Structure 1
Amino acid sequence: MAFGRAPRTTHTTTTTTHGTHHADRRGVFHPILTLSNILIWLSSVIVLGISAYEIHQIKKYAGSNAWPGNRLVYILVIAVLTVAFFLLSFMLHPRPSYSLLFNLIFSYLWLVSVVFAAESYSNRYVPSIWHALEAFTFIAFFGLLFNILYTWWQWHRATPRTAAVV
């Protein structure tokens, strides 16, 4: 108690009115985060299917040596990576710092896919399946954006705070 300071104590959690500790509670939005991860995975599976189908059609009708374009191949590769690696997000969401990094990386990859799809397939003279490809890339990106905001909030909430005693 030198110089009017209180003795140091270890960080303790406070008890809520329901008797549970803040550190023991799971977030209210964990079911919503799981549903968001499922939505992202399903939309990436749909984007994977549509882009693979379109590449197959281009190769079928334009010849086997025809190049479908860098943008469509990029969208296909990002969809394949998301389908393959996004299953980890179901295991990572209890660890907000890893989940935040994982979602940040994939959100930037999907942002480029959204830009490519919007530039290439927003014309009204393209087939409607390309509009569906564009729509599902938007869904995957906005799902990842929600995951970033939620995991940042969860990570920020989980860090212990110290209060200065005067």
Structure 2
Amino acid sequence: MILEPLGLAFPQVAGLITTLRERGESVATAESLTAGLVAAALTEVPGASAVVRGGLVVYATDLKERLAGVDPELLAEHGAVHPDVAAQLAVGASRRCEADWGIGLTGVAGPDPQDGVAPGTVHLGFSGPQGAQVQTEVLDGDRHAVRAAAVRVALEHFATLLR
């Protein structure tokens, strides 16, 4: 697996892909702090192309608006690391990629705070048939550990939503 040399392995992904395939549903991502790692983890599984529609890497704040459709007033008022931004990233991923589910991540990997938000703060947005929801986590570790944990937590929560 491509992610294993980076110390990132997410064995539950095969189950996610199987569940989506059995239900005839699809998923897309819009990622900031993880810069595509969730999409990479989802596509590690053979057959993922049947359910993974695509992903947006929206690392720069202006791309959150232009590519994922995040409200520019929200970004101006609260900055890029905010629960509502995560929700809008998820909705934008599903809409722009025409997927049943969207996963959006924004946060601060560190080492420094961003716009007054402490390192390790991660907002996970999920958009699906029942609407959008957000989960906020405060993760420990250095930059690499925060990003890896954000991917793990996003995949675990997504698995819970699919149940």
Higher percent of residues as helix = 1
TM-score relative to the length of structure 1 = 0.24
- Structure ID, larger Rg: 1
Greater strand content: 2
> Comparing both chains, which one has the higher relative contact order based on Cα–Cα distances under 8 Å and sequence gaps of 6 or more?
1
